[in-house]
Chain A
Amino acid sequence: MKQNKHFNVTVRVWRQAGPGEPGKMVSYKVGDISPDMSFLEMLDVLNDDLIKKGEEPIAVESDCREGICGCCGLVINGDVHGPDEHSTVCQLHMRRFKDGDVITVEPWRSKSFPAIKDLVVDRSALDRIMQAGGFVSANAGAAPDANSVPVDRDRAEAAMDAAACIGCGACVAACPNGAAMLFTGAKISQLALLPQGAPERAARALNMVQAMDKEGFGNCTNEYECEAVCPKEIKVSNIARMNREFLLANLFSKR
Chain B
Amino acid sequence: MKLDAHIPEGPLERKWDSHKFNMKLVNPSNRRKYDILVVGSGLAGASAAATLGELGYNVKVFMLQDSPRRAHSIAAQGGINAAKNYPGDGDSVWRLFYDTVKGGDFRAREANVYRLAQISSQIIDHCAAIGVPFAREYGGLLSNRSFGGAQLSRTFYARGQTGQQLLLGAYSALMRQVGAGTVTVLPRREMVDVVVKNGRARGITVRNLVTGDMEAYSGHAVLLCTGGYTNVFYLSTNAASCNVSAAWAAYKRGAGFANPCFTQIHPTCIPRSGEHQSKLTLMSESLRNDGRVWVPKNKGDHRKPSGIPEEERDYYLERRYPAFGNLVPRDIASRAAKTVVDAGYGVGPTGHAVYLDFRDAIKRKGQEAVKEAYGNLFDMYYQITDEDGYKVPMRIYPAPHYAMGGLWVDYNLMTTVPGLFALGEANFSDHGANRLGASALMQGLADGFFIAPATVAGYLGAGKFEPVTTLDKEFADSAKQVQERINRLLAVKGEKTPSEFHRQLGNVMWNDVGMARSESSLKKALKRIPEIREEFWKNIKVSGGDKDFNQTLEKAMKVADFLEFGELLVRDALERKESCGGHFREESCTPEGEAKRDDANFSHVSVWEYQGEGREAALNREPLAFENVKIAERSYK
Contacts and interface: CB of A to CB of B under 8 A. Distances in A.
B276 interface: yes
Contacts of A71: 65-66, 70
Contact of A57 (B158, B175, B386, B551): B551
A137 B175 CA distance: 11
Nearest to A40: B278
Nearest to A71: B70
Nearest to B238: A64
A135 B277 CA distance: 38
B179 interface: yes
B334 interface: no
B556 to A, nearest CB: 10
Contact of B552 (A51, A61, A63, A120): A51
A146 B158 CA distance: 14
Interface in A80-107: 84, 87, 91, 93, 95
B273 A34 contact: yes
A54 B142 CA distance: 56
Interface stretch (A125-133, A216-224, A240-248): A125-133
Interface stretch (B161-169, B419-427, B513-521, B588-596): B161-169
Interface in B118-133: 122, 124-131, 133
Nearest to A134: B172
B175 A64 contact: no
Interface string B30-61: 00000000000000000100110010000000
A153 B137 contact: yes
Contacts of B128: 143, 146, 149, 196
B131 A194 contact: yes
A138 interface: yes
B276 A44 contact: yes
Given A135-B176, A140-B51, A95 B281 contact: no
Contacts of A127: 67-69, 175, 178, 185
Contacts of A152: 140
Given A44-B276, A131-B178, A164-B161, A190 B74 contact: no
B276 A34 contact: yes
A185 interface: no
B465 interface: no
A65 B68 CA distance: 17
B497 A41 contact: no
Contact of A146 (B125, B175, B276, B541): B125
A161 B164 CA distance: 13
Nearest to A49: B497
Q: What size tier do the contact residues of chain B reach?
A: 35 or more
A160 to B, nearest CB: 4
A163 to B, nearest CB: 5
Contacts of B241: 63
B21 interface: no
A123 interface: yes
Given A59-B551, A69-B75, A117-B549, A167 B543 contact: no
Interface string B546-573: 0011011000000000000000000000
B450 interface: yes
Given A52-B495, A55-B543, A147-B86, A138 B129 contact: yes
B544 interface: yes
Contact of B130 (A2, A138, A160): A138
Q: Name the residue among A52, A61, A143 with the largest chain B CB count within 10 angstroms.
A: A143
A13 B292 CA distance: 45
Contacts of A156: 133-136, 140
Contacts of B159: 160
Say what secondary structure dominates the interface of chain A.
loop
B72 A63 contact: yes
B600 interface: no
Interface residues of A, number: 80
A68 B161 contact: yes
Interface string A156-197: 100110011011000000000000000000000011001011
Q: Name the residue among B179, B274, B499 with the largest chain A CB count within 10 angstroms.
A: B179
B131 A197 contact: yes
Contacts of A194: 131, 133
A112 interface: no
Contacts of B449: 140-141
Nearest to B163: A68
B239 interface: yes
B549 A18 contact: yes
Contact of B543 (A56, A138, A164): A56
Q: Name the residue among B74, B159, B380 with the largest chain A CB count within 10 angstroms.
A: B74
A56 B273 CA distance: 28
B500 interface: yes
Given A116-B210, A117-B549, A150-B139, A167 B276 contact: no
Given A126-B67, A153-B137, A144 B499 contact: no
Given A40-B278, A126-B67, A146-B124, A48 B450 contact: no
A65 B239 contact: yes
Contacts of B131: 135-136, 159, 190-191, 194, 196-197
A147 B542 CA distance: 55
Contacts of A26: none
Contact of B164 (A120, A123, A150, A166): A166
Contacts of B232: none
Contacts of B158: 160, 163
B445 to A, nearest CB: 9
A87 B274 contact: no
Given A140-B50, A140-B450, A144-B125, A69 B384 contact: no
A146 B386 contact: no
A117 B548 CA distance: 10
A14 to B, nearest CB: 15
Contacts of A42: 276
A174 to B, nearest CB: 19
A124 interface: yes
B581 interface: no
B126 A143 contact: yes
Contacts of A159: 131, 133
Contact of A66 (B130, B281, B495): B281
Contact of A153 (B140, B168, B276): B140
Contacts of A41: 276-278
Interface string B137-169: 111111000000000000000110100110010
A38 B278 contact: yes
B453 interface: yes
A196 B239 contact: no
B393 to A, nearest CB: 18
A190 B50 CA distance: 20
B84 interface: yes
B177 to A, nearest CB: 9
Contacts of A116: 210, 549
Given A51-B552, A127-B67, A135-B173, A63 B239 contact: yes
A235 to B, nearest CB: 15
B368 to A, nearest CB: 14
Given A45-B276, A140-B47, A64 B72 contact: yes
B140 A151 contact: yes
A237 B54 CA distance: 34
A160 B133 contact: yes
Nearest to A144: B125
B1 interface: no
Contact of B65 (A63, A67, A135): A63
A52 B86 contact: no
A175 to B, nearest CB: 20
Contacts of B185: 127
B172 A68 contact: no
Nearest to A130: B175
Given A41-B277, A147-B142, 9 more contacts: A47-B552, A48-B497, A54-B543, A70-B69, A116-B549, A123-B67, A124-B66, A131-B178, A160-B159
12 contacts: A37-B274, A40-B278, A63-B65, A64-B75, A116-B549, A130-B171, A136-B172, A141-B122, A141-B450, A156-B140, A160-B133, A160-B135
